[in-house]
Amino acid sequence: MGESRYDRTPIPEETKDERSATFGEILHAYTKEEAILEAQRCLQCQMPFCVQACPITQDCRGYITLIAQDKFDEAAVLTLRDNPLSSVLCKTCYHYCEEDCVMGGKGVPIAIRHLKRAALEHGNSNLLYVPSAPRQERIAVIGGGPAGLMAAWELAVRGYSITVFEEQPFLGGQVDTIPKYHLAGDELDTDLARFKSLDVTFRLGAKAGTDYTPETLLKDGYLAVYVAIGASDPHAAGVPGEHLPGVFPAIQFLLAVNKGPESLFGRKGRKVVVIGGGDVAMDAARSAVRMDATGDVTVIYRKTKADMPADDEEVGGGEIEGVRFLFERAPVQILGTAQVTGLVVQAMRAGPPDGQGRPTSVPVPGSEETIPCDTVIVAVGERADIAGLPTELNFSLSSHPWPQGTKEDWMTDIDGVFASGGKSVVYAMAAGTAAANAIDAYVSKKKGRPSTRRPDAFGAAEPPSPPVGYGGPSWHL
């Protein structure tokens, strides 16, 4: 425990000097003793606000209780029972649970995400999921990101036969772009190894809209199709010069850092400018620092530091590692002929609120300046790539970048085809759960039987119930 019950047991981490030179993980696991101390700070609230804040209703209070009693094997089982991507989430989840932890009102919230990691690392997490009796009913999932994988798991433990169609030669979706200093790289494989007994087939390199469509899958005998293709198409910065060699969309850059080709960013001494103020911009800037100790990295953002949508921890991490920030600057033009030579930016200042009362920023006339650079990374958001998919699906795309069905249960305008996604890994998983429940209800109705609840994923006779005191979700998808 820290100084008092209200202080967190410190999480071991890389020293500030070590960080910027390597992609090694910044945070290290608690020892067993540290994990027990941290778990013993938990008040075991009768009303578990932490569980209510978790989009997948992970029984975190339950695994914390078990860790406090030195029962790491049991804590690992409890964690994995609700959460098939635990190894990924214990390092990447934005820990919505901790925001609602009552200890946060008095001191520092319990390290709920980090204790999940302790449960898996110190308990036996080398387990296999157990399917219910096979149903001989095939469901197709398009997209092998967190939403698609969660839906596949939910349906496969109920005994359905699942095929996941994925455009890329690997699974994971945007999880593959998360830098290795957060996620070492083999966590998804560790999670998927527990799927081995489930009837889930992965068809990699199979793109919807080119190789097949949801309609052709229905004609091929799949009873329902879940479209979980996320938002993989990067927005452009919308300035002249964006076509030049040396300009990269952030997600392409981050994917190449993790999976290759290494040549994408091979040369040393690069002067890099990242456009954007969100978490993806921070990931790109902090990765660029690690790619090239001899270069320099600048982030430009059109509003103030306080307006940045990126997590404070990410911005602070970038500052520690040597990223330079230029606030209230917007890109105007990328300069160069055969290669980028500079970025022209213009100063911005706060403008009048827009029609909906939101703050705006306006350019300051005559304030242009050029930042010399040879690389520009554009991190201004992504949208769905729905090329080749039938317009009859009539996806909703207005309030989120991923395609979503317009019906209450996220069915699209084509009967039996569902679509959704999520703003983070755990929200995408919650969307996958909701889609799986809707698909089970749809198929069950067609077959004239009641819909099913998810059985215990490790084969226990009783399906899992929400923890005592749980009063329903405190969030909305």
Ligand X SMILES: Cc1cc2nc3c(=O)[nH]c(=O)nc-3n(C[C@H](O)[C@H](O)[C@H](O)COP(=O)(O)OP(=O)(O)OC[C@H]3O[C@@H](n4cnc5c(N)ncnc54)[C@H](O)[C@@H]3O)c2cc1C
Per CB under 6 A, the list member of 29, 76, 175, 223 interacting with ligand X is: 175
- Of ligand X, ligand SF4, none, which one sits near residue 422, judging by CB under 5 to 8 A according to partner kind? ligand X
Token pair listed for 176: 């593959």
* Binding residues among 224-243 for ligand X as defined by CB under 6 A: 228-230, 232
Residues in the chain: 477
Question: Helices 32-39 and 60-68, interaxial angle, to 10°?
Answer: 120
Convert 208-230 to b/e letters by CB count within 10 Å (16 or more is b).
Answer: bbeebbbbebbeeebbbbbbbbb
Closest distance to ligand X from the beta carbon of 193 (Å):
19
Integer Cα distance of 404 and 416 in angstroms: 14
**Nearest to ligand X of 205, 266 (CB atom):** 205
Near ligand SF4 in 60-79, by CB under 6 A: 60-61, 64
User: Residues 107-126: x/- map of binding to ligand SF4 (CB under 6 A)?
Assistant: ---x-xx--x----------
CB of 95 to ligand SF4, least distance (A): 4
Q: DSSP assignment of 16-61, as one string?
A: HHHHTT--S-SB-PPPHHHHHHHHTT----SS-HHHHHSTT---HH
Q: By CB under 6 A, is residue 470 in contact with ligand X?
A: no
Q: Does 35 bind ligand SF4 (CB under 6 A)?
A: no
CB of 250 to ligand X, least distance (A): 7
Contact with ligand SF4 (CB under 6 A): which of 103, 371, 389, 414?
A: 103
332 near ligand X, judged by CB under 6 A: no
List the one residue from 86, 125, 161, 168 that touches ligand X (CB under 6 A): 168
Strand extents, DSSP E, 143-249: 161-166, 200-204, 224-227, 233-234, 247-249
Using rule CB under 6 A, residue 315 touches ligand X: no
Least Å distance, CB 192 to ligand X, is: 13
Q: At what angle do helices 112-122 and 32-39 cross, to 10 degrees?
A: 140
Burial class (CB within 10 angstroms; exposed 0-12, middle 13-18, buried 19+) of 305: middle
> Which residues form the interface with ligand SF4 (CB under 6 A)?
42-45, 48-50, 54, 56, 58, 60-61, 64, 89, 93, 95-97, 101-103, 110, 112-113, 116, 426
